[in-house]
Structure 1
Amino acid sequence: MPARQGGRPRAGLLALFPALVLAAALAPCPAGAGEAVVTAQVANLVDIVDLDAGKVVAAIPVSGAPAGVALSPDRRTAYVTRPDGPGLAVIDLAARRVSATLPLPGGPLGIAVNPVSGAVYVADWYAKRVLVLLPKPEGLVQDGEIAVGQSPSGFAVAPDGRTLLVANRESDTVSVVDIESRREVRTIAVGKHPFGIALDAGAMRAYTANVESNDVSVIDLAKGAEIGRVTSGDRPYVVALAGGRGFVTDQYSGTVTAFDLATLKPLKAIDTGDHPEGIAASADGRTVYATNWGDNTLSVIDVGTLAVTRQIKVDDGPRAFGDFLR
């Protein structure tokens, strides 16, 4: 799977998110996204896409079937998982080059960065753990691990940097992790085989794309429970949120399902391309970008009209699983 193809409550969930809503409200919101950092897994490249120009402006060689991607808090560095390494590549986005590689155990796939501390979290697909890497003057240093469910996949980190949410694909759960203590404090049952996860900090909700039940679970974080499901297309993979709407890539349907966050009703199945996988929203909430594995394109979706406005050609096997816009 990496190369493509949940616990006991110890504290109330509100105690884990004391500053989450405030942090979300105060977060900077630039006008949009200037570049996309797209992992092209088959080509063993990371493409830098100029979104205004609509073209790839740099293709950076990264061996090991690059898959997951996350950006540093200052958006100057990209961290890319290499499942076939196995390991991690660190990319200097200004210089357009790999500045370091780190070997990692197991099957590194999903990845996220703490927006406050800059710590990097890597999901080990083959084990029930999240690897923790800390930024040091000499570079990233592996610093322990966190026990979670089976086959951890997608991550979401609270804006205050205190809570990590982990979608555990083979456990059908989401782990709620207290970052300071590095402990799973609760598991929440969701649909079958959750993969991608998105956090709506202001609403205290999270959403998982459930690959084998063809739906999206809606989680109330204050209650610590699933409160609803949204029907998606076939084999949903990753979720993004923008403009009061949710967007989930449907791999086998070749669509992105848009749904209303208030009513949890599907709005439209948007035709994108063959096998859409990674998806992310611009900071202004006006545009969603989805990578299409099968036809090597990046779809640009208008959040208001729910229409694809452009298809950008990228290199072979775009996956972009994670935070890939800057």
Structure 2
Amino acid sequence: MAAAQHIDDVDFISDFAVPGYPFVVPIAIVSNTPDTQGPYPVRVAVRDAASVWLLYQIDGGSVQHLQMQQQDSLFVSQIPGQHVGTRIAYQIEAHSANGKVSYFPHADAWLDFTVVELTGAPLAFTALRGDDAIGVVDTGTRRELARIPVGDEPIQMILAGDQLFVSNLSSNDLRIIDTATFQIQAHIETAVQPLDLALAPDGKTLYATNSGTNALTIVDVESGQAHTVEIADTSEGLYGIAATADKIFTTDIAGSQVLVLSPQGRVTGRIPVPPKPRSLALAPDGKTLYVTSMDTGRLTAIDADDATVVRTIDLDVSGTFAIAPSPDGRKLYLTAYSEGALLVVDVASGILRKRLAIGRNPRAIAFSPDGTQAYVTSSFSNEIHIVDAVRDSVVGHYATGQNPRGIALTQPIWPTIESQHPTHFALAPAFPNPFNGSTQITYTLAAESPVELRVYNALGQAVRTLLRQQREAGTHQIYWDGRDDQGRALASGTYLLIMRAGAVRQTTKMLLLR
């Protein structure tokens, strides 16, 4: 599959198909979520089925049956939003034309998830490489709220607004997670072994190194479209990465050099550095680039404007892995993986100020949203250490899943709770979204009213009128196939749907992917 191809979030589960019976493959398992608004989308791929049903139970109550609708190659349905503390169990039932029935996961087994409560403290998302999942911890209680199944060997992550991008080393892809709902939004194929991630300063472009090949994956954040650029004359796959407005920096770990690239991926310079350069980080002002060395204790500082080495600091350790400047830029935090230590360096003097003992094989570092704490993953001892970033002291730790690697912290986003009763005019989010075939639009009218549903492009031009007629009170559905009023397929991008019902005007965004 081409690196630029953007496909649905498929988690294949190995099983044997029984001849004559439908065969069901889940598309993204619904995870625990703080979202009380819903709906909770369920998508499956099914072979040899005449009809497919979603069965669900709320807190062990009666079983509800919803017939799933076919959209392109998938069957989709959705479970309505529920209150905090609710446990939802669900199962897929597929019927063949000759009356044979298959279940997923099994006839006597159900999948389940819970609507969880948040304390309001920051959420820590951690890549659990050994569990093929992202763990979500409420730092207010240090309790794990959810395990989000992703691809094989999730390794690094980066926040882009309320989206979390995760690189999966062995399944050669990126997953996008909605941090407000804990659900996977999209899946992007990459070149071999995507590893470190960096955002352009304007947040519009994501860069991913590919450690299994000499390539860089470049992703348009808004559309999710990706392409791969081959990097010539490198000794091994690319590892660390950082980006300024006019440059991309990446480490050639076997070549003991930092490559300087244009935003389009063309090599414009090469900077010799100490052996095995691993990770890169820019100072908050973007003027200085820092480089770690896995084979030495030397930290390299590079002027990001003219791409020249300005300072090398000997840290008296066997090697360092990750590096993170403090939000104010006055200190640098580095993981010394062999020594099981977190190093704290004063930027102005270059002096090592603290050496804090933490877990075994420490890897990634992330700061709390207010910058007062640093969280450090330790991949061999399966724990997260919490460091007071003001006093530079360890103030706690908690156990996590297997082989924690990348970590990111964000303030929780509280979903807007809307009435479940038809007493208000409401336009629900399109489902699925993003989509590449058709998407379902649900709207609710509190009273009979003239209704207009129109789709606009990013330039504000009306491209499709879906509905313009009198409709009765209640909940209604309509589909959009990604075409304009003349039946022409529209290009990938963000589209705005506007509902006008009497004096009411409501909008929602839709992301079309081709």
Q: TM-score range by the shorter chain?
A: 0.7 to 0.9
CA distance in 2, matches of 1:265, 1:310: 26
RMSD of aligned Cα (Å):
2.2
The TM-score with structure 1 as length reference comes to 0.81
Q: Number of aligned pairs?
A: 286
For residues 176-222 of structure 1, the C-alpha deviation after alignment (integer angstroms, 9 at most, x for no partner) is 2221x432222211111111111114372111110011322122234
| Contact residue 383 and residue 397 of structure 2 kept, 8 A | yes
Give the 3-state SS of the residue equivalent to 2:212 in structure 1.
Answer: coil
Sort the Cα spacing of 1:302 and 1:110 in 2 relative to 1 into closer, same or farther, 3 A: same
Residue 57 (structure 1) aligned with residue 140 (structure 2): no
CA distance in 2, matches of 1:320, 1:136: 23
| Contact residue 134 and residue 143 of structure 1 kept, 8 A | no
Given candidates 129, 143, 151, the residue that maps to 1:41 is 129
CA distance in 2, matches of 1:98, 1:222: 37
Amino acid across the alignment from 2:390: G
| Contact residue 230 and residue 264 of structure 1 kept, 8 A | no
Residue 220 (structure 1) aligned with residue 306 (structure 2): no
Given candidates 235, 238, 259, the residue that maps to 1:175 is 259
Give the 3-state SS of the residue equivalent to 2:154 in structure 1.
Answer: coil
User: What percentage of aligned pairs have identical amino acids?
Assistant: 19
Aligned to 2:204: 118
Could you tell me how far 1:259 is from its partner in structure 2? 1.0
Give the 3-state SS of the residue equivalent to 1:42 in structure 2.
Answer: helix
Aligned to 1:236: 320
For structure 1, the residue ranges without an aligned partner over 5 or more in a row are: 1-32
Given candidates 199, 208, 223, the residue that maps to 2:291 is 208
Residue 273 (structure 1) aligned with residue 368 (structure 2): no
Q: How does 1:104-183 map to 2 (within 5 A)?
A: 104-137=190-223, 140-145=224-229, 147=231, 149=234, 150-158=236-244, 161-179=245-263, 181-183=264-266
Larger Rg, first or second structure (1 or 2): 2
Sort the Cα spacing of 1:280 and 1:146 in 2 relative to 1 into closer, same or farther, 3 A: farther
Residue 89 (structure 1) aligned with residue 175 (structure 2): yes
For structure 2, the residue ranges without an aligned partner over 5 or more in a row are: 1-120, 411-514
CA distance in 2, matches of 1:81, 1:175: 21
Amino acid across the alignment from 1:133: V
CA distance in 1, matches of 2:375, 2:230: 31
- Give runs of ≥4 in structure 1 deviating > 3 Å: 282-285
Sort the Cα spacing of 1:105 and 1:202 in 2 relative to 1 into closer, same or farther, 3 A: closer
For residues 283-326 of structure 1, the C-alpha deviation after alignment (integer angstroms, 9 at most, x for no partner) is 544222110111211111112322111102221110007xx222
The TM-score with structure 2 as length reference comes to 0.52
Say which structure, 1 or 2, has more relative contact order (CA 8 Å, 6+ apart). 1
| Contact residue 132 and residue 146 of structure 1 kept, 8 A | no
For residues 209-244 of structure 1, the C-alpha deviation after alignment (integer angstroms, 9 at most, x for no partner) is 100113221222344222222315333100011151
Aligned to 2:409: 325
CA distance in 2, matches of 1:132, 1:196: 19
Amino acid across the alignment from 2:293: N
Aligned to 1:198: 281
Could you tell me how far 1:119 is from its partner in structure 2? 1.8
